[in-house]
Amino acid sequence: MSENTLQEPKVVSLHRPTAAITLPPAATWPREEVLALFDLPFNELMFKAQETHRANFPDGDVELATLLSIKTGGCEEDCGYCPQAARYDTGVEAKKILDIDTVLDAAQQAKDNGATRFCMGAAWRSPKDRDMDKVEEMVRSVKALGLETCATLGMLEEHQAQRLKDAGLDYYNHNLDTAPEFYDNVISTREYQDRLDTLGHVREAGLKVCCGGIVGMGESREQRAGLIAQLANLNPYPESVPINHLVQVEGTPLHGLPPLDPFEFVRTIAVARITMPKARVRLSAGRRELGEAVQAMCFMAGANSIFYGDKLLTTDNPEANDDRALLEKLGLRTRGAVLESVQKESCGC
């Protein structure tokens, strides 16, 4: 069934016509093959996704990542889904960059709650060099706590990616957001190619890539397939693939869209799993809206990472206790627990 039979997308075109983006010459996943996966009968798609998942993640664990907004609001960009864009009246107050102690306290708390990765997000178009000094100090200090580090700071130049690598950063998050031809309906202040360029700088610096997108922004199923094809054809594909379900925030241009059919979200997770078999596919924003049953289906479809904690950057996230209860109900172990048991098994005590 095509997406247009599920919902009539509201046209939220912010801007100009799209420049053509070409796939790498030997695309591993032509878009039509990705779309064919989306079009499979639901049970068949879930079966294929489970097969891929079990073959590549025999432990079946779920990674817990905690996200902290180190610099909130006041962003000059115009991402149509984002409450942190200064131009939208969303009630998000612009704040200065957090001090190092606040970040370290949050990281320690995340670790104590079982998170293995700590992601620091800043609402910037791109970081200024004076910001980089502070972020590097945060990265070094968080890493010293024994957590994997991730940062999302906007567009990066080559030398900035290198500085983060030198500070010990493990992952850099920069999302493609959507399919190239839908992109201009959502953002005008940076090009799709700018995003690809940043991802290139991140890879060249030797950082691992966290890159995904948002679904439910009024795009068609074919455009969701286009997003997944873009991600899967990055060479190599990202180590982490966050799939966000649009959280509609009042005051943003995307508020008021018809909601995406939840099965379509589960299908997107399954197709991401099949096309990027070794990636951590992360359930990110919008989990609260999905409810437990749909989240459970997402885990069956191959999601094996969640953002964990009470808040994402500015929107609510299921509380940590609810997350633990859900994982327990489903009998899912966390990555931290699996690592701990491996360490114990290999310990001579």
User: What is the contact surface with ligand SF4 in residues (CB under 6 A)?
Assistant: 75, 77, 79, 82, 84-85, 123, 154
CB of 327 to ligand SF4, least distance (A): 28
- Give the Cα separation of 329 and 13 in Å (integer): 42
Of 31, 117, 150, 287, which is the active-site residue? Answer: 150
Is-catalytic flag, 211? no
218 vs 265: CA distance, rounded Å: 13
Candidate list 163, 190, 224, 282, residue with the active-site label: 282
Of these residues, 119, 163, 211, 224, which one is catalytic?
119
Q: Cα 194 to chain center, whole Å?
A: 18
Nearer to ligand SF4, 44 or 316 (CB): 316
Looking only at the bridges linking them, the beta strands covering 240-245 and 213-215 are parallel
Q: Which is nearer to ligand SF4, 213 or 336 (CB)?
A: 213
Q: Which one, 57 or 182, has the nearer CB to ligand SF4?
A: 182
**From the CA atom positions of the chain, what is the Rg in Å?**
19
Residue 163 a catalytic site member? no
Which residue among the candidates 82, 117, 221, 287 is catalytic per the annotation? Answer: 82
Strand (E) or helix (H) holding 64: strand 63-71
Q: Tell me how far CA of residue 84 lies from CA of 80, 170, 227, 248, 249, in angstroms.
A: 10, 25, 23, 13, 10
The answer to whether 150 is a known catalytic residue is: yes
Task: Say if CB 142 and CB 98 are below 8 A apart.
Answer: no
Q: Which is nearer to ligand SF4, 82 or 169 (CB)?
A: 82
Which of 250, 268, 257 is closest to 213 using CA atoms?
268
CB atoms within 10 A of CB 333: 15
Q: How far is the CB of 134 from ligand SF4 (least distance, A)?
A: 17
User: Which CB sits closer to ligand SF4, 30 or 91?
Assistant: 91
Q: Give catalytic status of residue 349 as yes or no.
A: no
Judged on CB neighbours under 10 Å (0-12, 13-18, 19+), 21 is: middle
Q: Could you say which of 79, 195, 211, 267 is catalytic?
A: 79
Which residues are catalytically annotated?
A: 75, 79, 82, 119, 150, 210, 282
